Structure 1
């Protein structure tokens, strides 16, 4: 593996860095501290970033997007997430979902759904999988009829009537289009009984429940989706009935790489703040970086970040060069990187001392944001179980 980046990759990296430094950093803390999660959605930043291509960077070029590969996406995400992981996830989630639409949908569906998304700078996508009683069950899975998602799509003439609830869904409170997993056969487990649908959010019977009030990553909207006799035309079924799990397996690697890149960026942002603070904060008549206890913490943080970056880049490279891909790499790298982010951000809080736990300081937000990463794209425990089955 050789990582020699192109001028285009460096330019995109610089574009993301400049936009997040000049536009996002000055306002991110204020958005984060708003009491109502509905008020935490930074629409002006989303639109400005979209005009620079950040909302559609990972959307295939043939549909008007940037067509960035996973390594390029990882480089850009690191720069974005070091400033604010919530805005970064808002952009990158749309890369992931739009790429899945492009990979899994037929030509007619792609022509219907992708151009409106690309053309509207405030058009966001969601991917509805998790339910109140089906979180890890959807990832492991427990392949029996009684386990897994219960949201059900029942045939009705030429369409499907959908009833059920999804929870913790990214961007569900603000999205215009949803990629939905729903049961279509209750007599079998989810490997054969789960199907994928494209559901416009203005479909009658589709509404929001709670807008979730998260401890971290507050600029990244999560909400409940409620389906009450929502009629979806048959032409919105993706592939055939019962194919959702197979479809997920075909596109899942990109999600883990996206998430671990955010963990890397979050850790790097916390480290940079801690390093600057340690160089300027004087105790015992010298900068605290000259005290061995602090210096060792910073060295450990730098070490972990470098290891994580190597893992992210290897995973991104492997996704396009190993046939067949080794999915274990992305699974255990996701675990390492998210746990690493929690360790590094905690050390940043400790280096800041009393100011580390104050909201007027920069450190505590990184710790809260890092904690959220542990619960995304399958828990770390579920990912380790999957790896163990492949040993």
Structure 2
């Protein structure tokens, strides 16, 4: 080899690469890049203004008909991102498109991103569980929600196998139960105030315990799509909370609600599969969404570090600011890379790995919170004010370490799923 022909000879004398908006992202194919660009435009022009406006309203004002939340849903529908489109993609395409979709929605606004995700869950789970009746009977333009968490049962609702219970622990009586009677599923009880879209939903994909002759059995339940206009369904007040205020959440109550057996997605024998399925996809969705939230916080901090001057220089010239930005970007990139790796892994596995989705969710949500906290520190006093966006991102990120399973419990359950029985 002739040393004079080495590739480095073509580099500048002082090599340096300037990152674009997606930092270490390798080039996407043309279709995927066009998809991302359209989502970024939507996130910038629609989601951020609407999310910021809704953040300043009361929970009841957000949920009220005529609020800009419904404008968001209408504009989102115009993107044409339907279940039919998602399921028409190859496994390879979906493994690329799904993370991009929720990364960009999360970059726009965390609360609106989760509202969009919860909206589609009844239809998504109907497709996954093979219920054609629900898919044909109801329009995707309806608003869906996911009812699993209960006043007395939070993350333990996701631990159907009860791996995590203390030897002296008991689940206690479920707050919501169902039984089959004369071709109908009869539902009684309530779901907690944390049901995303619960205060506005037209359809609920409901997970509840089976009522048996020996009492409620939380390990053998029902997964059923429930239209919320049915007699006996009522709602609590929309929940006031510190972050994700664009996402309406609230209780659902069921008083002898009867829904035809056609709406059943999974009965007692398939209940654990149904919980596993939605939990795996929800955790991956959270990983993608909060990778986008982390990038949003980093983008704001990076821009501000170039604009803000202290000591006569832009603060990015100060050592500790540069160091902090480096570690913020490291966390953003690691969250995104892990989430996309898990999306690809689970797309090609006959049974997706729940513990892999948990890795993505826990990593992305914790990194999003840490990056948002660092962004506030970089903005200084300005970061604490409502005039700048990072205080909202920080509040939005905080809930992520609790929703869809609190991270501490997910880590224990995910750790147990690493056990190899052949090694014991």
Whether these two folds match at TM > 0.5 is yes
Q: Secondary structure at the match of 2:80?
A: coil
Q: Secondary structure at the match of 1:199?
A: strand
Query: Map of 1:241-390 to 2, 5 A cutoff?
Result: 241-390=268-417
Question: What is the distance in 1 between the residues matched to 2:278 and 2:58?
Answer: 36
Give the aligned partner of residue 171 of structure 1.
197
Relative to 1, partners in 2 of residues 1:352 and 1:5: Cα closer, same or farther, differing over 3 Å?
same
Give the aligned partner of residue 91 of structure 1.
116
Question: What is the distance in 2 between the residues matched to 1:196 and 1:178?
Answer: 10
Relative to 1, partners in 2 of residues 1:17 and 1:295: Cα closer, same or farther, differing over 3 Å?
same
Contact 1:133–1:149 under 8 Å retained in 2: yes
Relative to 1, partners in 2 of residues 1:305 and 1:60: Cα closer, same or farther, differing over 3 Å?
same
RMSD: 2.4
Contact 1:96–1:254 under 8 Å retained in 2: no
Contact 1:58–1:68 under 8 Å retained in 2: no
Contact 1:46–1:55 under 8 Å retained in 2: no
Instruction: Select 2:46's aligned residue among 23, 32, 45.
Output: 23
- Structure 1 residue 237 and structure 2 residue 256: aligned? no
Instruction: Select 2:180's aligned residue among 125, 140, 155.
Output: 155
Question: What is the distance in 1 between the residues matched to 2:361 and 2:191?
Answer: 24
Give the aligned partner of residue 125 of structure 1.
144
Question: What is the distance in 2 between the residues matched to 1:136 and 1:172?
Answer: 18
Larger Rg: 2
Q: Secondary structure at the match of 2:108?
A: coil
Question: What is the distance in 1 between the residues matched to 2:187 and 2:86?
Answer: 28
Give me the TM-score of the superposition, normalised by structure 1.
0.90
Relative to 1, partners in 2 of residues 1:68 and 1:181: Cα closer, same or farther, differing over 3 Å?
farther
Give me the TM-score of the superposition, normalised by structure 2.
0.83
**Deviation by residue 1:151-205 (Cα, 9 ceiling, x = unmatched):** 12233322232110101111111111111112223536422x2111111111111
Deviates more, 1:31-40 or 1:347-356: 31-40
Deviation at 1:102, TM superposition (A): 0.6
Question: What is the distance in 2 between the residues matched to 1:213 and 1:70?
Answer: 35
Relative to 1, partners in 2 of residues 1:59 and 1:134: Cα closer, same or farther, differing over 3 Å?
farther
Question: What is the distance in 1 between the residues matched to 2:156 and 2:281?
Answer: 21
Instruction: Select 1:180's aligned residue among 182, 187, 206.
Output: 206
Q: Secondary structure at the match of 1:210?
A: coil
Contact 1:128–1:179 under 8 Å retained in 2: yes
**Deviation by residue 1:319-378 (Cα, 9 ceiling, x = unmatched):** 112345433222122111111111000000000000111011111001000001111111
Give the aligned partner of residue 190 of structure 1.
218
Question: What is the distance in 2 between the residues matched to 1:55 and 1:81?
Answer: 18
Question: What is the distance in 2 between the residues matched to 1:323 and 1:142?
Answer: 21
Q: How many residue pairs align between the two structures?
A: 379
Question: What is the distance in 2 between the residues matched to 1:315 and 1:201?
Answer: 34
Give the aligned partner of residue 55 of structure 2.
32
Question: What is the distance in 2 between the residues matched to 1:235 and 1:325?
Answer: 27
Contact 1:56–1:91 under 8 Å retained in 2: no
Query: Map of 1:96-107 to 2, 5 A cutoff?
Result: 96-107=121-132
Question: What is the distance in 2 between the residues matched to 1:223 and 1:322?
Answer: 35
Structure 1: gaps of 5 or more residues: none
Relative to 1, partners in 2 of residues 1:147 and 1:71: Cα closer, same or farther, differing over 3 Å?
farther
Contact 2:280–2:353 under 8 Å retained in 1: no
